[in-house]
A = this chain, B = another copy of it.
């Protein structure tokens, strides 16, 4: 490809709305252009990378036995009413009416449509397993689209939906998809981690997320460096940090802690470890026609509430945080000095599993400026309900017992999920089993955010000059920068020859024949992030040399002219050899 026949749209400045580096660099590199909030044009440079991601995804999906089809963007409301999501799905679901006033949605996912296909096409257990996938444009009406392709409204996804006759079959299909995803992200050249979206062990889990590791990631991930345990912090099991409760040693003592409303302040003031203090969090659940139920959740002072795990506790599915008025009414005091002792009205107490094993601990006295020390379960308080309701922290024991947890941040780019029969039961997608009895199909779904991968790859691979693409998804693998393409026959002939040699070897090469100054040329390709560069100059050619620089290299190296093409070919092939 010659640059004069292509479209390079680099910019000096990033747009004002770009908050994160991948958004800034994608705009500056001429990969995307904003059309409306969360809606982008994919310019030629950007589309090349998208197509490379898609190609790898397709190859691995096909290899794993999935079959490609294409479902529409515009979907009739009837299907969503059948599944129940017409009502349940929030305003991210873009609903509209066509000219005949029929209701439609712009598809954010395709469970309904694919289940409709399956119930019409699959009659017998003999036709399963089947796994349909598509690479398709989705729409989600995000309330706050931002971060470029990371949280867009219109975006490209690979979504797959599997149909099995039973849970065993689903587990087998799920494992194949899990393996395919590992291959996909490995081939893409990304540092990634598959993490359990619920209980953390691959075999038993119903759901895994695939995260590209990046400091700027929205998600916190807990992993064990000495085992294969990894889970989203949202879902990671937190083991009790005190294995057995010690006997009480201190008397119950009400102590003045003036102005010390936070656990950290109390610990410092009383000169005790933060691990002896207990944090009180008050939730409420509403009861129709009656006053709400208030819940007091107790966490160790250095721990944080995990709302996902909390919502899984009996009675707490629809919890909300209590209002200050409610807290005053139930505890007799505003937030700051709350605790389980002497509440004004009864509350339901849940102790985090670590808290449940603590003794001689400190809680608020339900009186401004007072805490109570030497508190003990059984002696001073009834035994509490116990649950895992906190986020894991660095240093926690790994739930698999094989080490301690580390934390990192990640960007979710893939998700595999065992749906089970949720959609097939709601939409009556049944097959006849070996005995001729109708059974609901057992489904899985498997998504990859194609356009999001570009943003994630950049968050993981950039420097102050621009993007640093992994070879597999670079818009071009190598750029040829001739010094004086128009002026020097020797330079032009050598550049053209290199171009043709690299093309013939199947390398994605671009020859910058635009006639820009070297500084502009280098800056453009560093910004765009082409991983390999060859500079062809008259002086070098006189010495039989061509200058090579990898995008991560701090300096150029000189290659003999005759070896230049092959050196680059070898480097690229090595990088792609996953």
Q: List A residues at the B interface (Cβ < 8 Å).
A: 5-7, 9, 33, 35-36, 39-44, 46-47, 50, 65, 67-76, 79, 91-92, 94, 96-99, 102, 104, 106, 113, 116-117, 120-121, 130, 132, 137, 139, 141, 143, 153-154
Contacts and interface: CB of A to CB of B under 8 A. Distances in A.
Contacts of A47: 68-70
A169 B68 CA distance: 41
Given A36-B76, A74-B139, A67 B44 contact: yes
Given A35-B75, A35-B76, A43-B69, A94 B91 contact: no
Contacts of A46: 69
Nearest to A36: B76
A137 B73 contact: yes
Contact of A72 (B35, B43, B132): B35
Contact of A74 (B92, B99, B154): B154
A381 B61 CA distance: 78
Contact of A41 (B9, B35, B67, B70): B70
A153 B50 CA distance: 26
B70 A42 contact: yes
A71 B32 CA distance: 10
A139 to B, nearest CB: 6
Given A7-B121, A7-B130, A35-B79, 11 more contacts: A35-B71, A35-B116, A36-B75, A41-B71, A43-B117, A47-B70, A72-B154, A73-B73, A73-B137, A74-B154, A137-B137
Contacts of A71: 35, 41-42
A41 B65 contact: no
A121 B39 contact: no
Contacts of A33: 117, 120-121
Contacts of A113: 35, 41
A117 B41 contact: yes
23 contacts: A5-B65, A7-B121, A7-B132, A35-B71, A35-B76, A35-B79, A39-B75, A41-B70, A42-B69, A42-B70, A42-B71, A43-B69, A72-B137, A73-B139, A74-B139, A74-B154, A91-B99, A94-B96, A96-B96, A98-B141, A99-B141, A106-B106, A137-B137
Residue with the highest number of chain B CB atoms closer than 10 Å, among A67, A97, A116: A67
A166 B80 CA distance: 51
A415 to B, nearest CB: 23
A86 to B, nearest CB: 14
A9 B121 contact: yes
A485 to B, nearest CB: 16
B106 A74 contact: yes
Residue with the highest number of chain B CB atoms closer than 10 Å, among A69, A73, A97, A143: A69
A130 B113 CA distance: 39
A380 to B, nearest CB: 51
Contacts of A106: 74, 106
Contacts of A35: 71-72, 75-76, 79, 113, 116
Nearest to A141: B99
A427 to B, nearest CB: 14
A265 to B, nearest CB: 42
